[in-house]
Structure 1
Amino acid sequence: MCAIFGIIGEYNDNQAKSALSLLSHRGPDYCGITQKKNLFFAHQRLSILDTHHRSHQPLKHKNILLSFNGEIYNFQELKSELYFDFQTQSDSEVIIAAYLKWGIDFVKHLRGMFAIALMDGDTLYLFRDRLGKKPLFYLEGSSFVFASEIKALKPFLSTCKLDNDALLSYLSFLAPTPPHTFYEGIKKLAAGEYLAYKEGQVTCKRYFDLLDAPSVLITTKEEALKKIETLLEESIELRLSADVPVASLLSGGIDSATINYFAKLKAMPLQTYTLGYKEFAKYDERENARQSAEFLGLSNTQIEIDENDFIRASDKVMDTLDEPLNDPAAVPLYLLFEQIKKDGYKVVMSGEGADELFLGYRQYFEYLDIQGAATLAHKNWLKKYFRANFSMNREWEWYKRIFDDTLLFRSSGEKFTDLQKNQLMRRNVKDNESLKYLKSYRQRFEGSQHKDESIWYSYIDLNIFQAEHFLTKLDRVSMAHSIESRTPFLDHKLASALFSIDPKLRYGDGITKSLLKEVMRNKLDTKILTRKKKGFSNPYMEYLINSKKINLIQEVNTQTGMFHKKKLDEYINTASRGSFKQHVWGLYVLSYWIKKNLL
């Protein structure tokens, strides 16, 4: 796990090296630079495989340069079919050999997580992995600049301006949707995309899409369970490979227990970590995690934080994220990784993706049920009724969409609806305006073989809710402590297999994560399989209110006039009573960024 950085075109040597140094936390073990006139190509290395200096990057082969962030889990398999004079034991060199054999299609042979910068003569290629685990940003100007994090691109902006599309998509979906970032001029690659840059011209294309998986290929539960178990076990085993210590997160739920079960099955019991909250038992999973660790026969370290810890870390976390990300779990996760680093671990296993792939959110089933109302023959009066009786509650919005014949599900991360934004903001926001940020995804879905809406739920959530929200959080807070996070559920072969299963096998019995629970039925304790889902919940709103940091929202709004004060106060007051809490956290994070960057 590392950082990539580069400039094509004129550059100032001191400015370039200073920007590169802002990424040192991602790769503190070595800094490599290749430079000449109109080219600065660099790498910050976190040594995980083949820690020897022979594997330092950038790697060079004839007129090819490589700076690579990530892990290629099938590199040994690829090595056996590539005719190349390998000089290292790393996965990086395999990328060059694969490129020489297959051209830009080499990326289709990789199994892993990656952001890749490959320079072939005067052409630069940038690749982001299929499911968006690793970030990649770029800036077009007099020179072309690219980096693993936004902070390394900011020095090259002539002025700092707020990107309007980033703001609106953030309010809707918790994070800016690709290609937008909060900094006008800085863009990001979407999951499964690559970029080619040559002679000042940029071309972006998609090289992978989960919807390319054949529809309803697997039609029996027996076949589905066998396929899932085989690929899941394989995915976890591949991700246990490292030349440094590996640990794992452990909650009381099935996702992390599954990872740790198979890791132990492969004779690699992992040290596990769990977070708890002082004086807030309702958010605490320590006892459940202790029971899971005891059942699995694993050591479990429990970390407790309080309000002072949360407030101490919150500003650091927001600076780490670079731009607004509406996920209050980023702060406690940052503190958890802080302890894991102190204990000497450089790789951590995490359970992201299971909910989206196995339909682990109860709301998926609610949406499927509500979707049935679209077939009502006589619904005009219901349409008029809902239009005339606005409610802030999300259920009102769901039914309105059905009666309006518009798209119901817009990701599990949807927070502010367009009508809510219109009421809150001092600007006109049209109903369904936010659909433009989902348009390309929906068009691909409607043009695919897949017709069941549950596939759409998983597809948009993996591309937006997971890639731009959860994985952004996981990458930034883990890499802030020079830790590589690995997510076995988000193996592209496993994900494609899930998309090939008859959708009704995933939800037909009305049970969340039904197929995963079936796979693990005789492997995990019944308590683990039947526990109510908690997620990574935490007392962020209590901390925000008690510390009075919540006042920042009104303070910044007084200076910007972005929101109607009365409606803003209404949200804040409602959050203090337990509703619309994440809406308000999102406004707080936004206010922090605006104050630091624009005021």
Structure 2
Amino acid sequence: MCAVFGILGEYDATTARAALGRLTHRGPDFCGVVEREDLFFAHQRLGITDTHHRSNQPLSFEKILLSFNGEIYNFKELRDELKNDFYFKTQSEGEVIIAAYLKWGVGFVEHLRGMFAIALLDDETLYLFRDRLGKKPLFYLHGRSFIFASEIKALLPFLQKVEMDEDALLSYLSFLAPVPPFTFFKNIKKLAAGEYLTFKNKKVEVKRYFDLLDATPNLITERDEAVFTLENLLQESVNIRLSADVPMASLLSGGIDSALINAFAIKNGVKLQTYTLGYKDFAKYDERQNAKESAEFLGVSNQEVEILQNDFIDALDKTLDTLDEPLNDPAAIPLYLLFERIKKDGYKVVLSGEGSDELFLGYRQYFEFLDVQSLTKLKNRNWLSNYFHSNFSMNREWERYKRVFDNTLLFRTTGESFTDLQKNMLLRRNVRDNESLKYIKSYRERFENSQHRDESIWYSYIDLHLFQAEHFLSKLDRVSMAHSIESRTPFLDHKLASALFSIDPKLRYEDGTTKSLLKSIAKPYLGEKILSRRKKGFSNPYMEYLVESKKIELIREVNDKSGIFKKDAIEEYIQNASRGAFKQHVWGLYVLSVWIKKYLL
């Protein structure tokens, strides 16, 4: 992992170097800079593969400059393919990217398998690429100069003033994180997964180079063939992510995903040190016992990390600073503490199980949505529509049925938090019903224009783009890189994901079992006890901590000064959260309040 940073246009060298310094945590092993008139092109390196200084970046070749963040898992194969076209001086992935670009132009990105944020300058044309599934971030600011960076914090020195982007606020309230291209900082944008940007003659153009929906549907219709194909691809995905010239560890929960990753690693001859989180005095959130059983079954050494309330509170502000902007995921804090421990133990690479639930339908609510969706076939439903409109409820179940009877889009990501009606009751501004659909309109249009017709594919598609890429993966990238650790996610391999989009969708849900296909894959490798465990997720006692520490009062304090929300609505949410309801809504308001206090008040 590393950081990319650059300026095309006028710049102050002192400001540029100070901004680059804000990214040192992403690449503490080396800092490289190319400085010219109207060009500052830089790289912070975290050495993982070919740690020799000859692979330091930026790399240059003729009129090309490269600053690259990530891992290209098939770079050796590409190197062999390109060896007759390019004289290689290193064993680095960066040289392979340059050679691939020289051979295939911007289409080179289609040959890469991995996670990456790439900045490639060819003479006066700059290209920025974000990987297919959004594992690595890339932000940019286009003003008097064009500036790009791996994290927002490096762009802040170039803002004339900090203003909150309203689209970021509204999409954050709806979907837990700002939807691309928006960020909370007005004028700072981000690339979406599978997009690339061209900057030439002071003009910006953004295009999409990859779409999971391009996978041909129903290529595989038999369950046995699906299991065989996916098992081989998942094993391959794990195996290629085991390559590193530095120590590697793995996360281990009590569930299937992390256990299977470790089982496949063992099959490949690698036993990884594993880590599990636990919470003192909160057994209902604690997975240590389940993880211990999984570790004993697998024969791996597992390290338990216990978190206390004081640990959580002490790490709260540091973690939120690390994120740069509001992100509604309370798991960020314990994960920050976990990576802090992993770094202390000397590891620089960690395997994690993100993406499994979205690909294999691991959330129970996917099945609930499919059931509710079937109500669209009812011929006589006007009275039901009238009933729901006459009996408003803040509960999301009410919203689901209303949408079905209103003939509007039902599923809008697993991470949907505030509905438009809830936002209208909360904000001191009018929010029309279904206003948030504009933030997912382009995704829905791509789905409707594709060959895919099964709504479960839509569930996976929008969740991979928003719930995963902008929510979970943003969290994972920032908190791991805060400790100079590279996170690898085998389930989010684009070949595996594309294969899943090519099977008959009914194979994922027709038996009514969550992760049915994955459980079939895992059966020869994991015990029945592991396979049958009830899903806990990465839950933690964040609201209990927030209430008991009185940190929750910040929401009232900030709202009194900013006046963004209606006071009675804020009070209702806080009271509900204290009783265990609407907890993620309130956490989102808290995180937002922290940001507003820091940047706007």
Interval containing the TM-score (normalised by the shorter chain): over 0.9
Distance, in Å, in 2 between the alignment partners of 1:221 and 1:245 is: 38
Distance, in Å, in 2 between the alignment partners of 1:481 and 1:518 is: 36
Does 2:280 correspond to 1:248? no
Does 2:484 correspond to 1:482? yes
Does 2:377 correspond to 1:375? yes
Distance, in Å, in 1 between the alignment partners of 2:561 and 2:92 is: 52
Compute the displacement of 1:574 (Å): 0.5
Alignment of 1:323-334 (within 5 A): 323-334=325-336
Compute the displacement of 1:35 (Å): 0.9
Q: Report the AA paired with residue 76 of structure 1.
A: K
Distance, in Å, in 2 between the alignment partners of 1:172 and 1:203 is: 27
Compute the displacement of 1:382 (Å): 1.0
**Cα-to-partner distance string for 1:312-367 (whole Å, 9 max, x where unaligned):** 00000000000000000000000000000000000000000000000000000000
SS state at 2:144 partner = coil
Alignment of 1:196-207 (within 5 A): 196-207=198-209
Distance, in Å, in 1 between the alignment partners of 2:524 and 2:541 is: 35
Q: For residue 263 of structure 1, what is the aligned residue in structure 2?
A: 265
Q: Percent identity?
A: 73
Does 2:101 correspond to 1:70? no
**Cα-to-partner distance string for 1:235-275 (whole Å, 9 max, x where unaligned):** 00000000000000000000000100000111110000000
RMSD of Structure 2 on Structure 1 (CA): 0.4
Q: Report the AA paired with residue 285 of structure 1.
A: E
Distance, in Å, in 2 between the alignment partners of 1:395 and 1:415 is: 12
Compute the displacement of 1:224 (Å): 0.2
Unaligned 5+ residue runs, structure 1?
Answer: none
Alignment of 1:262-301 (within 5 A): 262-301=264-303
Q: For residue 81 of structure 2, what is the aligned residue in structure 1?
A: 81
Aligned length: 599
Distance, in Å, in 2 between the alignment partners of 1:280 and 1:477 is: 23
**Cα-to-partner distance string for 1:191-213 (whole Å, 9 max, x where unaligned):** 00000001100000000000000
Compute the displacement of 1:381 (Å): 1.1
Distance, in Å, in 1 between the alignment partners of 2:124 and 2:162 is: 30
Distance, in Å, in 2 between the alignment partners of 1:84 and 1:269 is: 37
Compute the displacement of 1:87 (Å): 0.9
Alignment of 1:202-213 (within 5 A): 202-213=204-215
SS state at 2:411 partner = coil
**Cα-to-partner distance string for 1:275-317 (whole Å, 9 max, x where unaligned):** 0001111100000000000000000000001010000000000
Compute the displacement of 1:468 (Å): 0.1
Q: Report the AA paired with residue 558 of structure 1.
A: D
Q: For residue 10 of structure 1, what is the aligned residue in structure 2?
A: 10
SS state at 1:582 partner = helix
Distance, in Å, in 2 between the alignment partners of 1:559 and 1:389 is: 34
Equivalent in 303, 308, 311 of residue 309 of structure 1: 311
Distance, in Å, in 2 between the alignment partners of 1:227 and 1:37 is: 53
Q: For residue 366 of structure 1, what is the aligned residue in structure 2?
A: 368
Distance, in Å, in 1 between the alignment partners of 2:460 and 2:144 is: 40
**Cα-to-partner distance string for 1:552-599 (whole Å, 9 max, x where unaligned):** 000000001111111111011001111100000000000000000000
Compute the displacement of 1:384 (Å): 1.1
Distance, in Å, in 2 between the alignment partners of 1:93 and 1:314 is: 40
Alignment of 1:485-504 (within 5 A): 485-504=487-506
Compute the displacement of 1:523 (Å): 1.1
Distance, in Å, in 1 between the alignment partners of 2:359 and 2:89 is: 39
Distance, in Å, in 2 between the alignment partners of 1:581 and 1:37 is: 52
SS state at 2:350 partner = strand
Does 2:51 correspond to 1:47? no
**Cα-to-partner distance string for 1:126-171 (whole Å, 9 max, x where unaligned):** 0000000000000000000000000000000001000000000000
Distance, in Å, in 2 between the alignment partners of 1:124 and 1:561 is: 42
Q: For residue 195 of structure 2, what is the aligned residue in structure 1?
A: 193
Alignment of 1:103-142 (within 5 A): 103-142=105-144
SS state at 1:81 partner = helix
SS state at 1:43 partner = strand
SS state at 1:264 partner = helix
Q: For residue 59 of structure 1, what is the aligned residue in structure 2?
A: 59
Q: Report the AA paired with residue 57 of structure 1.
A: Q
Compute the displacement of 1:462 (Å): 0.1
Alignment of 1:393-542 (within 5 A): 393-542=395-544
Distance, in Å, in 2 between the alignment partners of 1:240 and 1:156 is: 39
Give the TM-score normalised by structure 1: 1.00
Distance, in Å, in 2 between the alignment partners of 1:157 and 1:415 is: 30
Q: Report the AA paired with residue 25 of structure 1.
A: H
Q: Report the AA paired with residue 48 of structure 1.
A: I
Could you list the runs of 4 or more consecutive aligned residues of structure 1 that deviate by over 3 angstroms after TM superposition?
Answer: none
Distance, in Å, in 2 between the alignment partners of 1:317 and 1:468 is: 17
Equivalent in 83, 93, 96 of residue 95 of structure 2: 93
Q: Report the AA paired with residue 251 of structure 2.
A: L
Compute the displacement of 1:522 (Å): 1.7
